[in-house]
Amino acid sequence: MRTKKKRRNLALLVILIVLAITIFFLGLIAGFYIKKEEETKIIIENKTTIVDIEKIEELSKEGLVSVSIEIEPGTIYLASECLQLSIITTIEQTTSIEQVIENKTIARPIVHDLLNYIIENFDIEFLFVKIHSMREGTYYAKIFLQQDNKILILDSRPSDAIALALRARSEIYVKKELLERYGKNIC
């Protein structure tokens, strides 16, 4: 029992360290990304935004569907219409998501709360999350952020992206092809 607790504490520590490093690099990447020379203006949801030409296609929501989220310990369910996708994750991740879904407050903020505070307090708009592919049994997601005329697209684990998007009250999209291929019919 003690070993199990040590492993869980070690896993939580590793997650905290990874997220702290992510926050650090988020600042570095944001500064670097804006300095690219090849830019163009496009309209995104009635906002004029300057975006790297290579990234315009990534902002498209074509072929994506908005999903609702349900959880049980260790599993996230993404549903749209009659299809439901299951993502296996840690109990810590589903607990973080559950806090938002059930509007629970905790005494001390967890990493997803801290990242959300940073996003809010630096006037960064959380545009949306896109769960876009699956390779070797692992789903991949991207987080889309905007600050003024800057767009930042970050690779993310789906569980982290979902936990942050729910806190930001942002849309979560899944590639329709993934739902059709790996989803379970729930109707």
CA distance 91 to 138: 17
Instruction: Please return the burial class of 10, using the count of CB atoms within 10 Å of its CB with bins 0-12, 13-18 and 19+.
Output: exposed
Q: What percent of the chain has pLDDT over 90?
A: 58
- Is pLDDT above 80 for 167? yes
Helix and strand counts by DSSP (H, E) for the chain: 5, 11
Q: What per-residue string of b and e applies to 111-134 under the rule 16 or more CB within 10 Å gives b?
A: bbbebbeebeeeebebbbbbbbeb
For 98, the domain range is 2-185
Residue with tokens 């988020």: 26
At 33 the pLDDT is 46
Evaluate if pTM is beyond 0.75: no
- Counting the structural domains of the chain, the total is 1
CA distance 98 to 94: 6
> pLDDT for 73-108, tens place per residue?
999 999 999 999 999 999 999 999 999 999 988 888
Average pLDDT over residues 52-65: 77
- Domain of residue 53, CATH code: 3.10.690.10
18 confidence band (pLDDT: 50, 70, 90):
low
At 54 the pLDDT is 53
CA distance 86 to 174: 12
Classify residue 89 by its DSSP letter.
Answer: -
